[in-house]
Amino acid sequence: MSLWGNRIGRYDINISQSGCYSDRFLPPYQYPLPLDPDKPLSMGGMGAPNIYTETKKAQEVALVAAKEVILEAWGEFNNIFGRNYSPVEGYHCEGAKVLLLAMGSFSETAMSAIDALRDEGKEVGLIKLRLWRPFPFEEVRQVVKGAEVLIVLDRALSFGGPGGPVCSEVRSALYHEDKKPKVIGFVGGLGGRAITIDGFKEIINRGLAPPGPNLY
């Protein structure tokens, strides 16, 4: 049994004759360079100017390529546990005029708010962002098609910037699109403060108000 936000979900932990399924997904790991006080070493302590740019470029290339590895790992996880994950997950997005995008535990509570608003006849949906880096630009573009308003909820501030970090990435993803929803940024949950179902409903309703600055 697991608690997500205000929802309770059931997880079945399967035990086979060959051992726990989790051991199949995460076999014993051998550290290639274990810390040893008798054999001290320094890793990445310095980047000389003549190789620093190339090093950073290599890190960027590796991170972008990591998306395929992440998808492969999620596929293996699904084969063992029967739970499928993707970079972006939509909840009642088809036909929705207003979409809320959130990450992490916020998403689970937001689902209940979406259910309540749809019971009121409002055409709303939820986008759960599961992958932050590399950012799933194309997946975001696809899931918001047809929406009129996209409300992005951040859990962090970008002081002096145009909004929270997630909202900035979403705006960047949609910048060159001919048809795109109005993007409204909210920031909440700072310091671990909870956002209730009523709080999410208020966020969505305020997002439907006349245009204004990012809301906090």
Q: Give the number of other CB atoms < 10 A from CB of residue 22.
A: 13
Instruction: Return d(Cα 26, Cα 198) in angstroms, integer.
Output: 39
Q: If you search the block for the tokens 């600055």, which residue do you land on?
A: 213
Q: If you search the block for the tokens 């970090």, which residue do you land on?
A: 165
3 state SS of 174: helix
Tell me the helix, strand and coil percentages in the chain, rounded to 5. 40, 20, 45
47, 55 in Cβ contact below 8 A?
Answer: yes
pLDDT tens column, 167-216: 999 999 999 999 999 999 999 999 999 999 999 999 998 877 766 555 54
pLDDT for residue 143: 98
Torsion 162-165-167-171 (CA) sign: positive
Domain positions in the chain: 2-33+50-81, 88-207
Bridge partners of 103, per DSSP, are 129
Global pTM? Answer: 0.84
pLDDT for residue 191: 94
127, 88 in Cβ contact below 8 A?
Answer: yes
pLDDT for residue 1: 45
Which residues are CB-contacts of 173 (< 8 A; sequence separation ≥ 6)?
135, 137, 140, 141
Q: If you search the block for the tokens 């979403």, which residue do you land on?
A: 170
Instruction: Return d(Cα 147, Cα 149) in angstroms, integer.
Output: 6
pLDDT truncated to tens, each residue of the chain (216 aa)? 444 555 566 656 555 544 577 788 888 888 888 889 998 888 777 788 999 999 999 999 999 999 999 999 999 999 998 899 999 999 999 999 999 999 998 998 999 999 999 999 999 999 999 999 999 999 999 999 999 999 999 999 989 988 899 999 999 999 999 999 999 999 999 999 999 999 999 999 887 776 655 554
- The angle that helices 106-119 and 197-207 make with each other, rounded to 10 degrees, is 70
pLDDT tens column, 2-14: 445 555 666 565 5
Query: Is residue 166 classed exposed, middle or buried when 0-12, 13-18 and 19+ CB atoms within 10 A define those classes?
Result: buried
88-207 fold: Rossmann fold (3.40.50)
